[in-house]
């Protein structure tokens, strides 16, 4: 009897916890979204009496933000392109050969996921100024490549490990060179994984604050850094508007990812028999 009662209590506690977590995840986002459309010129209590796009308009009329946005997009696009190339080549090299310390090497490649971003940012700042690299965009680029590469490496590795080695061998014995076999067989089959790695990397680059804030200079800063600085100077709701837009971008990426991965999964159904 008491066993059953305890079971029920634990069930309830579990459900309650799920509820609390959902509240803490969703509520702030809802509040931010509502505030972004607040028509009042000052920070007032919820709910806002009227809705408008004024904070969005203000965001887009602010050169400081726009500059951050431009830099962020440049950073994201270029660093993702670079990390995807790094990810593919590293993953292939590591996947193809086996040697002592392979796992350790992979862990090293993935270590930026574990090292606190502040540490990465600070270390990189010191290192790059020793090298004499003071250009803000170049510095940010280095930082973003370092924090995004683990995502592309890991995703590509996962994709490659799902590809039967005999498929490549089949291509070779049918007359394709190693390079041809890669482009005809390995790459198309790993593409889904590579794309999902790229999308993750893009989101990471777009959202990063901790590394970027270390590497920013007076003229080059990413949007999240701009948002934080302006929040300290004069807090207004254009930050909420920017947050909503960042969330929209992330949401879009997630939808694209789901679509892409889901789509391919249907096409490739039941293919990896061996």
Partner 1 sequence: MQPPLEKIIEFRNVIKRFGATSAVDNVTFSVDAGATVSLLGPSGCGKTTTLRLISGFEDPDEGTIEIAGESMLGKRPYERNVGLLFQHYALFPHMTVAENIAYGLKHRHWPKAEIGGRVREMLRLVQLQGFEDRRPGQMSGGQQQRVALARVLATGPKLVLLDEPLSALDAKLREELRLELKQILTAVGSTTIVVTHDQDEAMSLADHIIVMNRGRIEQQGTPDEIYMRPQSAFVAAFIGRTNWFHGRISGTPGDAFLRLTTDAGTVLAIPGPGPQRSEKWSVCIRPERISVASVEADANRPGDNLLRGQVVDVVNMGAEIHYIVDGAEGRAMVVEPNREGPRVRKGDNVRLFFRAEDCVVLAQGDG
By CB under 8 A, name the binding residues for partner 1.
164, 166-167, 169-178, 180, 184-185, 188-189, 267-274
CB of 257 to partner 1, least distance (A): 19
CB of 167 to partner 1, least distance (A): 5
For the chain, give the number of residues.
274
Tokens of 30: 């809802």
Give Cα 194 to chain centroid, integer Å.
13
* Contact of 195 with 260, CB cutoff 8 Å: yes
Tokens of 268: 């490739």
CA-closest candidate to residue 90, choices 106, 68, 103, 74? 106
Question: Residue 250 or residue 264: which is nearer to partner 1 going by CB?
Answer: 264
CB of 177 to partner 1, least distance (A): 6
Give Cα 65 to chain centroid, integer Å.
21
CB of 195 to partner 1, least distance (A): 14
Question: Residue 180 or residue 259: which is nearer to partner 1 going by CB?
Answer: 180
Question: Residue 18 or residue 271: which is nearer to partner 1 going by CB?
Answer: 271
CB of 95 to partner 1, least distance (A): 17
CA-closest candidate to residue 245, choices 55, 111, 118, 76? 55
Residue 227: asked if its preceding bond is cis (omega within 30°), the reply is no
Question: Residue 51 or residue 173: which is nearer to partner 1 going by CB?
Answer: 173
Question: Residue 74 or residue 264: which is nearer to partner 1 going by CB?
Answer: 264
């Amino acid at each position: 009897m008491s066993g059953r009662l305890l079971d029920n209590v634990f069930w309830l506690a579990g459900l309650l916890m799920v509820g609390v977590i959902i509240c803490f995840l969703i509520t702030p986002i809802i509040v931010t979204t509502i505030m972004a459309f607040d028509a009042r010129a000052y920070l007032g209590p919820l709910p806002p009496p009227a809705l408008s796009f004024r904070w969005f308009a203000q965001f887009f009329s602010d050169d400081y933000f726009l500059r951050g946005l431009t830099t962020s997009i440049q950073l994201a696009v270029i660093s993702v392109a670079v990390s995807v190339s790094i990810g593919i080549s590293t993953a292939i090299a590591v996947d193809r050969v086996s040697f002592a310390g392979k796992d350790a090497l992979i862990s090293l490649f993935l270590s930026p996921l574990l090292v606190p971003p502040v540490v990465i940012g600070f270390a990189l700042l010191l290192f790059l100024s020793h090298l004499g690299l003071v250009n803000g965009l170049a510095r940010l680029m280095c930082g973003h490549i370092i924090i995004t590469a683990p995502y592309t490496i890991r995703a590509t590795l996962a994709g490659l490990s799902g590809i039967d080695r005999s498929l490549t061998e089949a291509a070779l014995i049918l007359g394709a060179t190693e390079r041809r076999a890669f482009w005809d067989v390995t790459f198309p089959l790993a593409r889904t994984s590579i794309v999902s790695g790229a999308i993750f990397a893009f989101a990471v680059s777009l959202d990063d604050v901790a590394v970027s804030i270390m590497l920013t200079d007076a003229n080059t800063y990413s949007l999240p850094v701009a948002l934080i600085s302006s929040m300290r100077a004069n807090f207004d709701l254009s930050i909420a508007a920017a947050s909503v837009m960042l969330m929209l971008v992330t949401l879009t990426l997630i939808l694209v990812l789901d679509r892409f991965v889901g789509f391919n999964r249907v096409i490739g159904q039941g293919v990896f028999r061996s």
